[in-house]
Amino acid sequence: MARNKRVKIAVLAGDGIGPEITAATTRVLRAAASKARLPVALRSALIGWVPYKRLKTTLPDATLAAMRDCDGWIVGPTYAGEYPKDDPYRGHPNGFIRRNFKLFANVRPVEAWPQLDPLIEDLRITVLRENTEGFYPDRNLAWGYGEFKPREDVALSLRVITAEACRRFAQFAFEYAEATGERRLAVVHKRTALPQTEGVFIGAFEALRSRFRRVSFELVRIDTFSSSFPRDPGRYRLVATTNLFGDILSDQASGLAGGVGLAPSLNAGHDHAMAQAVHGTAPDIAGKGKANPAALILSTALLLRWIYQRRRNQACKDAAALMEQGVRAAIAAGTVTPDLGGDASTTAFANAVISSCKKA
Ligand code: ATP
């Protein structure tokens, strides 16, 4: 594909600090894209509390149409528990977005930053997590819940693992390894205890092995992984696993790296992907101009890398690298927001990232 085909991105500001960090992120994105000669069209759309108050929905049809029309989205955090649970108009929007747009893979890179006082200083790992099934009651069935109580004192939890979901996820994982230059992929499982479901999951990777010869993959039991990873973190750079294990391992890695403060994430499907910081809406500092936009900037770099993964559009990769280096440079120079011990505002931090992008 042409190096400079236009990339269309929807920007959904969200709640709490969402508007501040999305504004900072789009400024950085524009600067990096301009430097990398990547034409980017940004389109704003409403999500969360603002449309809920005005239109009685957290995700208006106009937003869904804008999302469908774009390659990917930058999405600010949205309030978690505040929306009425019985609201027919979608309530909390994240689950609906994930299901509606079939975002089947969750990407969680974790990196130790000295400012976060990490337990492991050189930790760097990416956890790829299957996002649509597994033990999660909200993801198992077309209707109803995957947890049951046949008697008051007996509870059953149903895990669904399908060959189709495993196949698309395994392919995504191999392609991700290739696009990011990782040579080794650890498939983390518990086949000894769950032979049928884990067998389907592992089988999907084995079936693709010959198509991705440049990536060697190893099977690692979750218990082996959990005990060896903190002692020998350099051994694993890229991990692919099922939903619940991925949830736990990515947070374990974040804990060892000093917390989720700077943690980016991407939810990806075949047609769309969503850049979203791991942290929440931070209502205690909303509107004060001191929110740290780094996690959302890094998430947006992941989005550009995902577009590169699909289209081999080199300018996307270049712009992503500029954003990541810019964040690194701003933090290394000490231009940091109060959560990292500095006194820079959201805007000042974004300016530092932008000036680093321009100088690169
Ligand atoms: P939610 O209910 O939306 O998850 P929360 O306050 O429970 O919100 P977070 O939003 O993750 O959870 O916030 C936890 C703490 O971390 C808060 O003190 C918040 O101010 C801080 N925090 C979170 N994100 C940021 C950020 N981007 N910049 C600065 N501080 C942040």
pLDDT tens across 322-335, in order?
A: 999 999 999 999 99
Q: Are residues 165 and 133 in the same domain?
A: yes
Q: Does ligand 1 have an atom closer than 6 angstroms to the CB of 291?
A: yes
* pLDDT tens-digit readout, 275-312: 999 999 999 999 999 999 999 999 999 999 999 999 99
Residue 150 has φ and ψ, to the nearest 5°, of -65, -30
pLDDT score for 39:
97
Q: How many CB atoms lie within 10 A of CB 248?
A: 15
Q: Does ligand 1 have an atom closer than 6 angstroms to the CB of 318?
A: no
> Which domain CATH number covers 307?
3.40.718.10
pLDDT tier, 211 (very low <50, low <70, confident <90, very high otherwise) = very high
Alpha helices in the chain (DSSP H): 18-36, 49-55, 61-69, 93-100, 163-180, 195-208, 222-228, 243-257, 294-311, 314-332, 346-359
**Kind and range of the H or E element at 220?**
strand 216-221
The tally of domains found in the chain comes to 2
Please give the Cα distance from 133 to 139 (Å, whole number): 5
Q: Are residues 287 and 218 in the same domain?
A: no
* pLDDT tens-digit readout, 54-104: 988 899 999 999 999 999 999 999 997 777 766 666 667 888 899 899 999
Percentage of the chain lying above the pLDDT 90 cut: 81
Which atom of ligand 1 lies nearest, measured to the CA of 285? 20
Please give the Cα distance from 269 to 306 (Å, whole number): 10
3-state secondary structure of 118: coil
Please give the Cα distance from 209 to 220 (Å, whole number): 16
| Enclosing domain of residue 19 | 1-103+269-360
**Beta-bridge mates of residue 185:** 217
pLDDT score for 333:
93
Q: Are residues 62 and 166 in the same domain?
A: no
3-state secondary structure of 41: strand
Mean pLDDT of the chain: 93
Which atom of ligand 1 lies nearest, measured to the CA of 79? 3
Ligand 1 centre to CA of 277 (Å) is 11
Q: Are residues 23 and 85 in the same domain?
A: yes
Q: Does ligand 1 have an atom closer than 6 angstroms to the CB of 327?
A: no
Q: Are residues 9 and 146 in the same domain?
A: no
Q: Are residues 216 and 350 in the same domain?
A: no
Lowest-pLDDT choice from 23-37, 71-85, 132-146, 211-225: 132-146
pLDDT at 2 over 60: no
Q: What is the DSSP letter of 115?
A: G
pLDDT score for 145:
77
Prediction pTM value: 0.93
Q: Are residues 260 and 118 in the same domain?
A: yes
Q: Are residues 177 and 290 in the same domain?
A: no
* pLDDT tens-digit readout, 138-171: 777 877 778 889 999 999 998 999 999 999 999 9
Percentage of the chain lying above the pLDDT 70 cut: 96
Torsion of CA 195, 201, 202, 208, to 10 degrees: 150
Q: Are residues 164 and 257 in the same domain?
A: yes
**Beta-bridge mates of residue 186:** 218, 239
Helices 346-359, 294-311: inter-axial angle, 10-degree rounding:
40
Decide which of 234, 267, 300 is a domain's last residue: 267
Q: Are residues 153 and 260 in the same domain?
A: yes
3-state secondary structure of 297: helix
Q: Are residues 121 and 253 in the same domain?
A: yes
Please give the Cα distance from 227 to 224 (Å, whole number): 5
pLDDT at 1 over 70: no
From 47, 82, 339, 346, mutation site for ligand 1 pocket: most ligand atoms within 8 A of C-beta? 339
Please give the Cα distance from 266 to 204 (Å, whole number): 22
Q: Are residues 2 and 121 in the same domain?
A: no
Q: How far is CA 226 from the centre of its chain?
A: 22
Please give the Cα distance from 225 to 238 (Å, whole number): 12
Which atom of ligand 1 lies nearest, measured to the CA of 281? 3
Decide which of 267, 301, 318 is a domain's last residue: 267
Ligand 1 centre to CA of 40 (Å) is 29
Residue 111 has φ and ψ, to the nearest 5°, of -140, 140
Ligand 1 centre to CA of 281 (Å) is 6
Decide which of 233, 267, 301 is a domain's last residue: 267
